[in-house]
Copies of this chain bind each other. A is one copy, B any other.
Amino acid sequence: MEARGYHVAVVGATGAVGQQMLNTLEKRNFPISKLTLLSSERSAGKKVTFRDEEYTVQTATPDSFEGVQIALFSAGGSVSKELAPEAVKRGAIVVDNTSAYRMDENVPLVVPEVNEEALKNHNGIIANPNCSTIQMVVALEPLRKQYGLSKVIVSTYQAVSGAGAAAINELREQSQAILNGDSFSPEILPVKGDEKHYQIAFNAIPQIDKFQDNGFTFEEMKMINETKKIMDMSQLHVAATCVRLPVETGHSESVYVEIDDLNVSAEQVKQLLKESDGITLQDDPSQQLYPMPADCVGKNDVFVGRIRKDLDRDNGFHMWIVSDNLLKGAAWNSVQIAESLVKLKLV
């Protein structure tokens, strides 16, 4: 590690995730010798404060990456497609928070609690998984290691901040309009680029990202495919139903798993997860203690509760997994990857 730190670039510095990346770099006291803040042309010129210093955000171009050692990308898939290779060409390691490279077999898809070692095989780009995938695999990995894992069925309860700052505004404005009895016109959710838009306030929308031909949405297929890749379990059975809720931040997941071991109690699963990295166990029905999105905001951990054994299958368990989708689901996992790169002397 260089004594003074690294030249770090944040691409998409003005977005919801970019802002959390800067907060996280600051909180973690990440060793930064120089910081370059980049964005699309639209947001360039904006002022951003980091460690009490004011930065002007620049338009990202290939030459922006001269001298950059670590580039955190979160400005949309097309920006990553265009500029991540340019950054790598100039010697940077890219941690990409978009879906552009996640399923590329030459790109490690990393959640440090699960597959930090995969970083060693990087070719310049490292992909940060989808938010809903990250928090789930953090909870699944200890089960896999200890008991073996064969099946996962997840239903999600996802916050609007996963769809960006405009979706947060839409939820707030729509909620106010409904409370006032005013009319409103949905324009962003469920998917900004899709044809129809629906009410999100006081509603639940079973669509996140567009539909594939097989009837699953891209979000659901991300959870299925990314989970298999991160856990290196191509044969794992995974199914997902992804639903958007009128929650600002914090994704929740109702997860059913089947493990290989038939002789495990719910108490053992609780104990195992309690001792696992990156997890806070919140599980005490007698105290009405369980994770909720409103409680997880601003925290890096994955919160797990409602752990109970299936009533019909000895190897089946149900659980409820909650995390801040902007932190562990995005900014914190990206910074954590950068910290792992430093720790493993890969940068």
Q: Which A residues fall within an 8 A CB radius of B? A: 151, 153, 155, 157, 171-172, 175-176, 179, 190, 194-196, 198-199, 202-207, 211, 214-216, 224, 237-239, 241, 243, 245-248, 252, 254, 256, 266, 285-288, 290-294, 305-313, 316, 318, 320
Contacts and interface: CB of A to CB of B under 8 A. Distances in A.
Contacts of A205: 292
Q: How many copies does the complex hold?
A: 2
Contacts of A203: 247, 292-294
Most chain B beta-carbon neighbours within 10 Å: one of A176, A190, A206? A206
A254 B288 CA distance: 24
A196 B288 contact: yes
5 contacts: A195-B288, A196-B288, A203-B293, A206-B252, A241-B254
Given A202-B246, A215-B285, A239-B256, 9 more contacts: A175-B175, A179-B179, A204-B245, A206-B252, A211-B288, A215-B308, A237-B312, A239-B311, A241-B306
Contact of A207 (B172, B194, B215, B290): B290
A206 B318 CA distance: 12
B247 A285 contact: no
Nearest to A248: B202
Contact of A153 (B153, B199, B248, B266): B153
A241 B320 contact: yes
A83 to B, nearest CB: 32
Contacts of A204: 157, 245, 247, 252, 292-293
A215 B198 CA distance: 36
Given A202-B247, A215-B307, A247-B246, A318 B241 contact: yes
Listed residue (A195, A256, A312) with the most chain B CB atoms within 10 angstroms of its CB: A312
A267 B243 CA distance: 22
Contacts of A157: 157, 204, 243, 245
A171 B202 CA distance: 9
Contacts of A294: 198-199, 202-203
Contacts of A190: 288
Nearest to A176: B179
A325 to B, nearest CB: 13
Contacts of A237: 312-313
Contacts of A290: 206-207
A149 to B, nearest CB: 13
A194 B288 contact: yes
A243 B254 contact: yes
B292 A206 contact: yes
Contacts of A245: 157, 204, 245-246
